[in-house]
Amino acid sequence: MTDAPLLEIRGLEVIFDGFHAVDGLDLTVREGEVRFLIGPNGAGKTTLVDAITGLVRPAGGSIRFAGEELVGQREHRIVGLGVGRTFQTPTVFEQLSVLENVDVAASFRLPFRSLLRRRRGVTDRVRRALEDVGLAELQEEPAGVLSHGQRQWLEVAMVLCQRPRLLLLDEPVAGMTGEERLRTGELTTRIAAEGTTVVVIEHDMDFVRRFATRVTVMHEGALLAEGTVAEVQQDAMVRDVYLGRPRDARGAAVVA
C-alpha cells in the first residue's frame, strides 16, 4: 500500500436544474484503499460516481485520477484509464450469454483488428472472473434469465475481468441474502488485496462494519465526516443527520 492519492476530488459540483446534487465535495482516496461511502438517500453518492465516470458533467471542480483530469473526458476513455464501475440497477446484455457478457467486457483493450476475430474458447481471465462470482455454472445461459442478485454479480465479474485500478461499486449487496453479502464482501477484500483500489457505496451497516476500514459519510452533496467506522459512528453530526430523519430505517442502523 502506497500513500499516493489515486483519486483526488476538489470542489466538485453537480447541478440538476438548479438543484445541487453534489455541492463542493472534496474527497481523496489512496491507492490500495477500500473506501466505504455512506449517506442517507439522495445524499448524492450515485451522482458522485456518475461524475467520476463521466455519466454526468460536473458544473465545477476537478477530479484527478492518477494525476489525470477526468472532468470533460468521454466515458469510454475514463474506463480506458482504469476506472471501472457497477450500477445501482444492474445492467447486463440480456441477449448475450453470461460468458459472452464477461468476454465482451474483457476484450475492451483489444485492437479493433483482433475484435474482428472469433472468440476461441474461454480466456483465463474470463474464467477466473466467472468463478470468482460463482457464475461459472451458468455461463451458457442468456443473461436475460438471471435474477437480480446474479445480475449484480455478473456486473462485478464484467468489471473485475477488466482489471481496473479503481473500482466503484454502487450498492453491490442490495437485495442479496446474508450469505451472498458475505461472499461479496470477501471478494471485495480480496480484490483490494490484489492491488485494486475499491470504493463501495453501501447502506447496509452490518456489511460496512464488517468490511470497511475507512468510511466517508456524505450528506446533501457534501462531505459530512470521514474516519474509521467507530469514529464515524461517534460523530455528532452524523448522528444528527440520521436521527433528524427518524423514519429512515437505514439511519437507525447507522447509529445503532
Partner 1 sequence: MEIFLSQLFIGLSVASILLLVALGLTFTFGQMNVINMAHGEFVMAGAYTTYVIQGALGASLVTLGFLVALPLAFLVGGALGVVLEWVLIRRLSGRPLDTLLATFGVALILQQVARDVFGASNVQVRAPAFLDGAITVAGVSMSYTRLFIIALVGVCLAAIWAHLGRSPAGRRMRAVMQNRDLAAASGVRTPRVDRRTFFIGSGLAGVAGVAVTLLGSVGPTLGTNYLIDAFLVVIVGGLGRLRGAVMAAVALGLFNAYVEYGTDASIAKAAAFALIVVFLQFRPQGLVVQRARGLT
Partner 2 sequence: MSRLAGTLAAGDARWGFLIRFLVVAAAMLLLAPAVLSDFRLSLLAKFLCFAIVAVGIGLAWGQGGMLVLGQGLFFGLGGYSMGMYMKLEEAGPGQLPDFMVWSGVESLPAVWEPFRHAWFALPMAVLLPMAVAAVLGTLVFRQRVRGAYFAILSQGLAAAFVIVLVGQQGLTGGTNGLTNFTQLFGLDLTAQANASILYTMVALGLLAVFLIARQLVASRYGRVLVAVRDSEDRVRFLGYDPTRIKVVAYTAAAGMAGLAGAMFVPIVGIISPALLGILPSIEMVIWVALGGRAVLAWAAGGAVLVNWVKTGLSERFPSGWLYLFGMVFVVVIAFAPKGMAGIGEYVRAGLGRPGAVRLGPRARDRATARDRAAQEPA
Binding site for partner 2 (CB under 8 A): 53, 55, 74-76, 79-80, 85, 87, 89, 91-96, 100-101, 103-105, 107-110, 112, 114-119, 121-122, 140, 144, 147-149, 151, 158, 162, 174-178
Q: Is 177 in the site for partner 1 (CB under 8 A)?
A: no
| CA–CA gap between residue 249 and residue 243 (Å, rounded) | 10
Partner touching 41 among ligand ATP, partner 2, Mg ion, none, CB below 5 to 8 Å by kind: ligand ATP
Output the CA angle 71-74-75, nearest 5 degrees.
Answer: 100
**Among positive and negative, which fits the CA dihedral 153, 159, 162, 165?**
negative
Nearest residue to 172 (alpha-carbon basis) of 93, 249, 89, 101: 89
Among 12, 47, 159, 229, binds ligand ATP (CB under 6 A): 47
Q: Contact 45/208 with Cβ under 8 angstroms? A: no
Quick one: which segment of 2-10, 42-50, 176-184, 233-241 binds ligand ATP (CB under 6 A)? 42-50
Which stretch, 16-24, 102-110, 114-122, 161-169, contacts ligand ATP (CB under 6 A)?
16-24
Look up residue 15 and give its three cell numbers: 447541478
Interacting residues with partner 1 between 33 and 72 (CB under 8 A): 47, 50, 55-56
| Helix ranges, 136-177 (H) | 148-160
Whether residue 159 contacts residue 199, with contact meaning beta carbons closer than 8 Å, is answered with no
98 vs 254 by CB, closer to ligand ATP? 254
Q: What are phi and psi of 118, to 5 degrees?
A: -75, 155
Closer CB to partner 1, 91 or 177, in the complex: 91
Question: Residue 71: which of partner 1, ligand ATP, partner 2, none does it interact with, CB under 5 to 8 A by kind?
Answer: none
CB of 37 to partner 1, least distance (A): 18
DSSP 138: G
Site membership for partner 1, residue 15 (CB under 8 A): no
